[in-house]
């Protein structure tokens, strides 16, 4: 395909063909509802359907300023012209999420920022095309929902649920080659996990597959979240099974019984709102493949929305203040996250806040701390103090996974459940001392019975990691370990 192929020209049109620019009003879009209990009259106004950011608009919003900036983790695509053809296609497709949902997430995160809600974010380290099945996506979602119910009770606060889903297909890596000397796997958005030279060549067409898989996952989730998957009674029953079957069940029985009593009390009172049967879950991914996220950016109501997901975050390896990733994220209206590891200084974090949230909107910026369990108690307090003193509005979220990765004696990349718990504990201790709100947790997890992290009540040992080590990148907590963590965090929240 040449760059002047029709599809690229279509992508440069100012608005979605046949909708926003048509002379006579198009038919009203069907009522669109993912369980958000509010009216969005704007949606029935065809003039406000988001439009593709053409060159003039991209210039006005400087959506392409990143192209001239230093960029880490650049995918080694053999032919950039093909990348441009693919992004031309992506610029013309219906995006994965809608602007009103993105705004709604920002409002929900503002509640977290003000200490009136808690944020539970989680999912695979790396989604893969082959595992993008009903079984896998729904199992992950079910685990996220189960954790959220336990946390809702523990925190006595609403829990904002965000999946690492429907777009988590790109991975920053520490080295350019793997242990076999092959070009490293960078996520299904770029290349294949298969261990051959050929499979590891970055293929731009994979962005189209990532889009299609993301759209399919989002579509299925929207349907199931309204169709019983999120029903409180069902989720609670699964949690009861967990307490019954967990080797550490006794420890969680008390809190499990309390939740049970609360649920039955509500039922006896006839409490039966829609919120008990459905849930809103938002989609998030790391904004690493800038070309992909830029192509799915649309202009709506005077703002640029990256509609590849509701929330995008910036990774630890790409957080250069004057770099491409931070620049692009600073120009979109989405809530954004920024991972910070042990080398982040308090001064740097304040600058990052000003760059990513210049209007200082509550709910716009999530600082995702991943210090490691050994450092969280010493490194986090000065950062929180400086950010608070500067008056920056942020959500503090703990990622207890990425600072605690190590290679096990058997050669697997793993994490120890106790160290994960200890980092969360440290995060809560620090926030109690600084008088700030420990806003949420960010977990790599799966609803499958994998053996990737050692420990937990199942006491998974190093020599058992090979039994079901299935991750494409980092080790995830399995279902039991995830729920155990939720019960432990619920205990921390109560105290």
Known binding-site residues for phosphoenolpyruvate equal 164, 316-317, 339, 370
What is the Cα–Cα distance from 230 to 325, expressed in whole angstroms? 34
Instruction: Report if residue 125 touches ligand E4P, rule: CB under 6 A.
Output: yes
117-156: contacts with ligand PEP (CB under 6 A): 125
Instruction: Report if residue 179 touches ligand E4P, rule: CB under 6 A.
Output: no
Nearest CB to ligand PEP, comparing residues 315 and 440? 315
What is the Cα–Cα distance from 278 to 273, expressed in whole angstroms? 9
Nearest CB to ligand PEP, comparing residues 287 and 333? 287
State which residue has the least CB distance to ligand E4P: 174
Burial of 408 (0-12, 13-18, 19+ CB in 10 A): middle
What is the Cα–Cα distance from 33 to 35, expressed in whole angstroms? 5
Taking CB under 6 A as the binding criterion, the range among 18-26, 202-210, 315-323, 450-458 that sits at the site for ligand PEP is 315-323
173, 226, 374, 377: residue in contact with ligand E4P (rule CB under 6 A): 173
- DSSP symbols for 130-144: TT-SHHHHHHHHHHH
What is the CA angle 428-431-433, rounded to 5?
110
342-371: contacts with ligand PEP (CB under 6 A): 370
CB of 39 to ligand PEP, least distance (A): 35
Instruction: Report if residue 291 touches Mn ion, rule: CB under 5 A.
Output: no
DSSP H helices in 125-231: 134-155, 206-226
Report the partner that residue 319 touches, choosing among ligand E4P, Mn ion, ligand PEP, none (CB closer than 5 to 8 A by kind): none
- DSSP symbols for 27-78: PPPPP--SS--S--GGGG-GGGS-EE--HHHHHHTTTTGGGGS--SS----S
User: Which is nearest to 15 in space by CA: 56, 44, 43?
Assistant: 56
- DSSP symbols for 242-271: HHHH-TTHHHHHHHHHHHHHHHHHHHHTT-
Nearest CB to ligand PEP, comparing residues 207 and 367? 367
- The size of the chain, in residues, is 495
Report the partner that residue 375 touches, choosing among Mn ion, ligand E4P, ligand PEP, none (CB closer than 5 to 8 A by kind): none
Instruction: Report if residue 50 touches ligand PEP, rule: CB under 6 A.
Output: no
Instruction: Report if residue 172 touches ligand PEP, rule: CB under 6 A.
Output: yes
Nearest CB to ligand E4P, comparing residues 172 and 455? 172
Taking CB under 6 A as the binding criterion, the range among 4-12, 176-184, 309-317, 477-485 that sits at the site for ligand PEP is 309-317
161, 200, 285, 402: residue in contact with ligand PEP (rule CB under 6 A): 402
Q: Is-contact 386 352, C-beta < 8 A? A: no
Beta bridge partners of 286: 313
CB of 474 to ligand PEP, least distance (A): 6
User: Which is nearest to 89 in space by CA: 175, 192, 241, 204?
Assistant: 204
85, 103, 399, 474: residue in contact with Mn ion (rule CB under 5 A): 474
CB of 471 to ligand E4P, least distance (A): 10
CB of 314 to ligand PEP, least distance (A): 8
326-345: contacts with ligand PEP (CB under 6 A): 339
400-459: contacts with ligand E4P (CB under 6 A): 402
**Angle of helix 134-155 versus helix 232-245 axis, rounded to 10:** 90
Nearest CB to ligand PEP, comparing residues 280 and 316? 316
User: Which is nearest to 45 in space by CA: 28, 57, 61?
Assistant: 28
CB of 402 to Mn ion, least distance (A): 6
Direct distance between the N- and C-terminal alpha carbons of the chain, in angstroms, rounded to an integer: 61
Binding mask 462-481 for ligand E4P (x = CB under 6 A): -----------xx-------
SS3 356: helix
Number of residues that bind ligand E4P (CB under 6 A): 8
Q: Is-contact 249 243, C-beta < 8 A? A: yes
Instruction: Write out the residues near ligand E4P by the rule CB under 6 A.
Output: 125, 171-174, 402, 473-474
Judged by the rule CB under 6 A, the positions of this chain that interact with ligand PEP are 125, 172, 286, 315-317, 339, 370, 402
Residues binding Mn ion (CB under 5 A) = 125, 474
């Amino acid at each position: 395909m040449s760059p002047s192929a029709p599809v690229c020209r279509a992508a440069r049109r100012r608005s979605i063909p046949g909708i926003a620019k048509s002379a006579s009003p198009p038919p009203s879009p069907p009522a669109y509802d993912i369980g958000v209990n509010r009216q969005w009259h704007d949606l029935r106004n065809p003039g406000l359907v988001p439009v593709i950011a053409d060159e003039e608009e991209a210039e006005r919003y400087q959506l392409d300023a990143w192209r001239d900036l230093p960029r880490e983790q650049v995918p080694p695509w053999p032919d950039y012209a093909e990348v441009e053809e693919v992004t031309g296609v992506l610029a013309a497709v219906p995006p994965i999420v809608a602007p009103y949902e993105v705004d709604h997430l920002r409002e929900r995160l503002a509640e977290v920022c003000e200490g009136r809600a808690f944020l539970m974010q989680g999912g695979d380290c790396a989604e893969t095309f082959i595992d993008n099945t009903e079984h896998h996506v729904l199992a992950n979602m079910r685990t996220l929902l189960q954790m959220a119910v336990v946390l809702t009770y523990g925190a006595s606060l609403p829990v904002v649920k965000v999946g690492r889903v429907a777009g988590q297909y790109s991975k920053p890596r520490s080295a350019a080659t793997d242990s076999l000397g092959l070009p490293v796997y960078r996520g299904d958005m770029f290349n294949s996990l298969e261990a051959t030279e050929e499979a590891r060549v970055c293929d731009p067409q994979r962005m189209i597959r990532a889009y299609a898989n993301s759209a399919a996952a989002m579509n299925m989730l929207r349907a199931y979240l309204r169709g019983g998957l999120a029903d409180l009674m069902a989720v609670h029953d699964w949690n009861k099974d967990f307490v019954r079957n967990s080797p550490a069940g006794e420890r969680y029985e008390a809190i499990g019984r309390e939740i049970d009593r609360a649920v039955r009390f509500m039922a006896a009172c006839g409490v039966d709102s829609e919120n008990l049967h459905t849930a809103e879950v938002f989609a998030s991914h790391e904004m690493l493949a800038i070309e992909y996220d830029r192509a799915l950016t649309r202009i709506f109501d005077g703002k640029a929305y990256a509609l590849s997901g509701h929330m995008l975050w910036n990774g630890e390896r790409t957080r250069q203040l004057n770099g491409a990733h931070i620049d692009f994220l600073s120009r979109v209206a989405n809530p954004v996250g920024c991972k910070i590891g042990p080398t982040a200084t308090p001064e740097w974090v304040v600058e990052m806040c000003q760059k990513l949230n210049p209007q200082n909107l509550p709910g716009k910026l999530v600082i995702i701390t991943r210090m490691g369990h050994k450092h969280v108690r010493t490194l986090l307090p000065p950062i929180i103090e400086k950010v608070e003193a500067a008056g920056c509005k942020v959500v503090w979220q703990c990622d207890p996974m990425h600072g605690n990765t190590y290679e096990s004696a058997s050669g697997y990349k793993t994490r120890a459940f106790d160290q994960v718990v200890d980092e969360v504990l440290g995060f809560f201790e620090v926030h109690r001392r600084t008088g700030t709100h420990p806003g949420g947790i960010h977990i790599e997890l799966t609803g499958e019975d994998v053996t990737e992290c050692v420990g937990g009540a199942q006491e998974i040992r190093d020599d058992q990691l090979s039994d079901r080590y299935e991750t494409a990148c980092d080790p995830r907590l399995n279902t039991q370990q995830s729920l155990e963590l939720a019960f432990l965090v619920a205990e921390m929240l109560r105290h």
